[in-house]
Amino acid sequence: MKATAPMCSAALSTWAASEQLDCRLYAITRKKIPNTMLKNGQPGVLVLSEFAGSAMELKDAVLANPFSRDSMDEGIDKAIDMPEEERRARMQRLLAHVKKYDIAYWTQHVMGKFAKLTAAGK
């Protein structure tokens, strides 16, 4: 894996073993996206692995296959080219979804399912 960006090894540590993502792509993309787009609540775009468990929940994310350079290129290009209004709307929906379905919600949901299973087994 070529390390051409100082942040590359830290930012891509989860992909380092597969060596499927060229760090040069990340460095180029990083330069194109203003830092303000990368801060929480700003008009950023979440590019998420299609294999992530949260991919089904976070419908406004741009999904990409992290093991495919073509898929990653398409996802990053889509995020970069997305109009600001759409970026803002997607990020607002993502943040609202995450705030609504937080750890307290999922804990209550799972415990409720366990309670139903326990009641059914008696």
Phi-psi region of 10 (alpha: psi -120 to 50; beta: other; left: phi over 0): alpha
Count of Cβ atoms closer than 10 Å to residue 61 Cβ? 21
Count of Cβ atoms closer than 10 Å to residue 69 Cβ? 13
Residue that wins the pLDDT comparison between 70 and 4: 70
Count of Cβ atoms closer than 10 Å to residue 49 Cβ? 19
> What are 8-40's pLDDT values in tens digits?
444 444 444 333 344 444 444 444 444 434 555
What CATH class has 33-121?
Answer: alpha beta
Domain ranges of the chain: 33-121
Q: Decide: pTM greater than 0.85.
A: no
Phi-psi region of 46 (alpha: psi -120 to 50; beta: other; left: phi over 0): beta
